[in-house]
């Protein structure tokens, strides 16, 4: 992973890192203006912000993994019966087209499958083609090759190594919530914070309300999922770096609040709590139909 760049695109913030060997080393974060990302698509302010972040971090690499917000994205989690490996890809594609209410001609699919007792557990991400193509095009203007595109909530959960429970990341003007069950992110959302920057108490109130809303939705949509006071809630982002924020989280959230303990993958003094999604990108596992170029130059895949 020498000189691998990671780019995490939020709703109000853009973060970059670069590895040295196997470790995250250089990093920078810059705010995004409100019109930098519209309906999930990067607009004209996006590229100057990226150039600024790369310059701040002193990053000059050309191979990049990207985490994007969950806007313009559909995710489905389902189980297929036991079928021969040679038939798995066609079965997943058929089921994805049936379950995702988007014209298949307008999306890319990416999927991950693993054997379970009942058959094969499949996780499918469908991303709008125009969205993926726009990011690849913008980064291509900087002569940066996109090796892989992931969803920020998935990369975040992977980097934090959350197997079960809730994960809450507090970012610049936004928060991301993820519910993980059996190692699989089941529900997630990223939302903007209305409170002014620096209003610690008010932003924490908004995040607590967001967690409550997600939990209520999960209990209605996924009755088999049990969430209560003993459910782990892992903190990420500003919770772990702003004075007093972690202590307030223990008081405000009615769950078993804890700090994540990911395997170290960064250089000394690297602010890893702010870059767990980058750590997840660096540790990306095997997905079928990864975003890569075929020999004919065609972009094959999705998210």
Convert the pLDDT of each residue in 73-112 to its tens digit: 999 989 999 889 899 999 999 999 999 988 999 999 988 8
Which helix H or strand E contains 256, and what residues bound it?
strand 256-258
How confident is the model at residue 303, as a pLDDT?
A: 35
Decide: pTM greater than 0.85: yes
Give the integer Cα–Cα distance in Å for 186 and 192: 21
What are the tokens at 185?
């992110």
> Do 1-69+127-161+262-303 and 162-261 share a fold?
yes
Contact 174, 167 (CB under 8 A): no
User: CB–CB of 58/21 below 8 Å?
Assistant: no
Task: Tell me which residue has tokens 């999960």.
Answer: 218
List pLDDT tens digits, range 285-301.
Answer: 655 544 333 333 333 33
Give the integer Cα–Cα distance in Å for 236 and 82: 38
DSSP summary character for residue 72: S
- Residue 105: which of 75, 78, 77, 126 has the closest Cα? 126
Residue 256 contacts residue 250 (beta carbons within 8 Å): no
**Residue 99: beta bridge partners?**
none
Structure tokens at 145: 């090759």
Domain 162-261 has CATH 3.30.420.40: yes
Q: How far apart are CA 46 and CA 288, in angstroms?
A: 29
Tens digits of residue pLDDT in 219-264: 887 767 889 999 999 999 999 999 999 999 999 999 999 999 999 9
Distance (Å, rounded) from C-alpha 167 to C-alpha 232?
A: 8
Which CATH code for domain 1-69+127-161+262-303?
3.30.420.40
| Segments making up each domain of the chain, as ranges | 1-69+127-161+262-303, 73-126, 162-261
């Amino acid at each position: 992973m020498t000189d691998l760049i990671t780019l995490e695109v939020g709703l109000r913030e853009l973060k970059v890192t670069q590895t040295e060997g196997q470790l995250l080393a250089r990093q920078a974060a810059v705010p995004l203006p409100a019109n930098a990302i519209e309906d999930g698509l990067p607009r004209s302010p996006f590229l100057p912000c990226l150039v600024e972040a790369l310059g701040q971090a002193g990053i000059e690499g050309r191979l990049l993994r990207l985490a994007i917000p969950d806007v313009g994205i559909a995710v489905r989690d389902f189980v297929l019966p036991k079928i021969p490996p040679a038939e798995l890809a066609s079965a997943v594609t058929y089921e994805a087209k049936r379950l995702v209410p988007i014209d298949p001609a307008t999306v890319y699919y990416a999927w991950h499958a693993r054997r379970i007792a009942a058959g094969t557990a499949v996780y499918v991400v469908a991303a709008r083609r125009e969205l993926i193509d726009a990011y690849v095009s913008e980064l291509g203007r900087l002569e940066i090759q996109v090796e892989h595109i992931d969803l920020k909530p998935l990369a975040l959960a992977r980097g934090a190594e959350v197997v079960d429970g809730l994960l809450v990341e507090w970012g610049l003007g936004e928060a991301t919530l993820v519910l993980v069950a059996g190692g699989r992110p089941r529900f997630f959302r990223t939302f903007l914070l209305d409170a002014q920057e620096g209003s610690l108490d008010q932003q924490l109130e908004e995040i607590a309300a967001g967690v409550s809303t997600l939990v209520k939705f999960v209990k209605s949509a996924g009755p088999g999922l049990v969430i209560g006071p003993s459910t782990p809630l892992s903190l990420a982002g500003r919770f772990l770096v702003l004075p007093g924020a972690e202590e307030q989280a223990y008081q405000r959230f009615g769950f078993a609040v804890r700090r994540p303990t990911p395997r170290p993958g960064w250089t000394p003094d690297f602010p890893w709590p702010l870059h767990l999604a980058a750590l997840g990108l660096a540790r990306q596992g095997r997905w079928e139909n990864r975003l890569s170029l075929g020999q004919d130059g065609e972009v094959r895949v999705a998210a």
